[in-house]
């Protein structure tokens, strides 16, 4: 019967049908649009990532600097790497070099006398200042002995003082209450970085104690890598102490005006002063039972960095057997118990410290076994001495075709990733309609990719490579780019590297144009970001529309339910009245 619809279940069914119909008619289209926009947004995110990767690959082939272009890559081959090997940079000139190694560079070594380990030392109490020179650098160390040491502990104190030393410059001791009048400036040079320190004490009101404290504050605030401090000595005099934080850095002081650093005042100077630990290393060892020796080893190889040592005050080196005549003549030690040098030095040309070799038939010496000044862009590494009968080592420098081919093939892979993704999503088939079908932006990028790949590179002189196909790289609309003639690509990279470079990185080159085109699409201000911004706004709007429409449907369904419930109540009242009339009639 019709009033079956006004039962509780009937009303629920009517309201449910209404809600379903309204949802299908009003909400489903909105959600379908949200799904479409979300899928499109996701597709653009994927494509943006692929384009970014392509941009990176093209940047390896495209560069504004001709000197650093990948097409200038060089490689070296060595006929005998056990004696000589080499590394090359892009600036290296192609060619062949011949080397025969007759001597390797060495670190100069001096050893002390062998002294009885436990014998007590007498007459050595006090401060012993040692000086070391190496190359352009100087260093000083102060070894303090108490007079209660043994031979072994004296050597260990010297070793520890040298190995843990830092470059220190100390002024003369000045009376704390003494006055200085004057103005001027000086520079503090730390490993080539110069800093000016200006001062003005011309009013004569500051004491040396105040001046030194003030100078220390100025240096600490302005000079990096140096710690300055005012030192109060036992006799209550004061002095300025500068300590270089890094043992590998030198310090120089230069008075540019005024006389604060002069001999009559702070008497403070330094010229390329380094830590002794940067010039020499020491070790204490036992050469025989009950005997102890100490060795001094130059930190750098070669004649210019030979050991030059002396006792400035005290007699520490003399005590070790390294007397003035041995140090000045660089006497070679052939006796394990005596002090002397391990390697022979007669002159700058006749010595055991420099590397010696024939380079393209010319006798050459060097402080090092690593040689970067013989040929531009080539670093030769001498590894072992050769006999007279061994064939000279040949080092060949040539274009690095393998590296360039790898970069080109990587570029092709990244190009095809972008091209194929757009193509696959721009067609319709059994799997449905592609997300980029009829998308103007995607189609425009697809055309640009195709045009750049197949068109002639403008601006290249006639007769030179101007098409990718001339380098063995062809374009197929189905798959994109591919190396269809690997032999031709290898040939042009070997014989015409500059033409291949122009094909890719000239003003209108393949990589140049693709880099520019990629740049238009990716990044915070790129085309894809703008598209996704619009898509996200639409998705947000549609989701809000879905929510508001759902609220409206729910409200209408609630109203409809109330109306049906009232009708149900009226129907029940009518049926009850009908029953009453029927009973009365009966």
Q: Which residues contact 435 (CB under 8 A, 6 or more apart)?
A: 39, 40, 43, 425
- What CA–CA distance (Å, rounded) separates 190 from 223? 8
Confidence at residue 269, expressed as pLDDT on a 0 to 100 scale: 94
H helix or E strand, kind and range, residue 479: none
What's the angle, vertex CA 110, arms to CA 107 and CA 115, rounded to 5?
Answer: 145
H helix runs in 23-163, sequence order:
28-61, 151-163
Using a 10 angstrom Cβ sphere, with 0-12 exposed, 13-18 middle and 19 or more buried, the burial of residue 422 is buried
What does the pLDDT read at residue 65?
53
Query: Which residues, 6 or more positions from 175, have their beta carbon under 8 angstroms from its beta carbon?
Result: 208, 237, 238
* pTM confidence score: 0.74
Cα(252)–Cα(193) distance, integer angstroms: 10
Mind listing the pLDDT tens digit of every residue in the chain (586 residues)?
454 555 777 777 777 888 888 888 988 899 889 988 898 999 999 999 999 999 999 988 877 555 567 888 899 999 999 999 999 998 898 899 999 999 999 999 999 999 999 999 999 999 999 999 999 999 999 999 999 999 999 999 999 999 999 999 999 999 999 989 999 999 999 999 999 999 999 998 999 999 999 999 999 999 999 999 999 998 999 999 999 999 999 999 999 999 999 999 999 999 999 999 999 999 999 988 999 999 999 999 999 999 999 999 999 999 999 999 999 999 888 788 899 999 999 999 999 999 999 999 999 999 999 999 999 999 999 999 999 999 999 999 998 999 999 999 999 999 999 999 999 999 887 777 888 998 999 999 999 999 999 999 999 999 999 999 999 999 999 999 999 999 999 999 988 988 999 999 999 999 999 999 999 999 888 999 999 999 999 999 999 998 998 888 888 888 877 777 777 777 667 767 777 777 766 5
Question: What confidence score (pLDDT) does residue 1 get?
Answer: 41
Helix (H, G, I), strand (E, B) or coil at 36: helix
What are the residues whose beta carbons fall under 8 Å from the beta carbon of 452, sequence distance 6 or more?
510, 513, 514, 517
């Amino acid at each position: 019967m019709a009033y079956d619809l006004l039962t509780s279940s009937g009303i629920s069914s009517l309201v449910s049908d209404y809600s379903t119909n309204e949802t299908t008619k009003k909400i489903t289209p909105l959600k379908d649009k949200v799904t479409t926009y979300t899928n499109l947004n996701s597709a653009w995110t994927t494509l943006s990532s692929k384009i970014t990767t392509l941009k990176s690959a093209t940047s390896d082939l495209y560069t504004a600097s001709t000197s650093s272009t990948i097409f200038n890559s060089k490689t070296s081959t060595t006929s005998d790497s056990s004696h000589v090997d080499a590394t090359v940079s892009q600036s290296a000139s192609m060619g062949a070099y011949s080397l025969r190694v007759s001597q390797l560079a060495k670190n100069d070594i001096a050893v002390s006398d062998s002294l009885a380990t436990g014998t007590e030392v007498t007459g050595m109490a006090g401060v012993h200042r040692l000086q070391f020179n190496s190359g352009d650098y100087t260093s000083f160390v102060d070894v303090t002995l108490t007079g209660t040491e043994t031979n072994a502990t004296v050597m260990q104190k010297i070793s520890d003082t040298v190995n843990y030393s830092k470059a220190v410059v100390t002024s003369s001791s000045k009376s704390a209450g003494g006055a200085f009048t004057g103005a001027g400036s000086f520079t503090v040079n730390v490993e080539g970085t110069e800093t000016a320190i200006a001062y003005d004490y011309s009013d004569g009101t500051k004491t040396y104690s105040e001046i030194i404290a003030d100078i220390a504050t100025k240096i600490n605030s302005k000079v990096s890598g140096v710690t300055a401090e005012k030192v109060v000595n036992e006799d209550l005099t004061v002095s300025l102490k500068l300590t270089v934080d890094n043992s590998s850095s030198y310090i120089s002081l230069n008075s540019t005006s005024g006389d604060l650093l002069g001999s009559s005042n702070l008497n403070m100077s330094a010229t390329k002063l380094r830590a002794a630990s940067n010039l020499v290393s020491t070790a204490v060892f036992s050469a025989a039972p009950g005997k102890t020796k100490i060795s001094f080893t130059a930190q750098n190889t070669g004649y210019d960095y030979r050991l030059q040592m002396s006792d400035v005050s005290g007699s520490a080196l003399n005590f070790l057997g390294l007397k003035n005549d041995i140090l000045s003549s660089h006497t070679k030690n052939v006796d394990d118990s005596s002090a002397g040098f391990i390697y022979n030095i007669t002159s700058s040309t006749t010595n055991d410290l420099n590397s010696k070799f024939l380079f393209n038939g010319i006798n050459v010496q060097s402080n090092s076994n690593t040689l970067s000044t013989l040929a531009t862009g080539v670093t030769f590494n001498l590894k072992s001495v050769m006999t007279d009968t061994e064939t000279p080592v040949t080092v060949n420098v040539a274009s690095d075709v393998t590296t360039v081919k790898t970069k080109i093939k990587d570029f092709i892979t990244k190009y095809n990733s972008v091209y194929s993704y757009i193509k696959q999503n721009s067609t319709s088939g059994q799997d449905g309609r592609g997300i980029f079908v009829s998308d103007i932006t995607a189609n425009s990028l697809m055309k640009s990719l195709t045009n750049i790949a197949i068109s002639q590179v403008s601006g290249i002189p006639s007769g030179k490579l101007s098409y990718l196909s001339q380098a063995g790289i062809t374009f197929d609309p189905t798959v994109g780019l591919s190396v269809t003639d690997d032999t031709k690509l290898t040939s042009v990279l070997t014989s015409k590297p500059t033409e291949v470079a122009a094909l890719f990185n000239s003003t209108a080159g393949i990589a140049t144009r693709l880099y520019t085109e990629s740049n238009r699409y990716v990044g915070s201000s790129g085309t894809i970001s703008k598209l996704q911004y619009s898509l996200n706004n639409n998705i947000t709007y549609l989701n809000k529309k879905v929510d508001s429409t759902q609220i409206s449907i729910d409200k209408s369904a609630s109203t409809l339910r109330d109306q049906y419930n009232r009708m149900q109540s009226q129907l029940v009242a009518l049926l009850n009245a009908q029953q009453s009339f029927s009973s009365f009639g009966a």
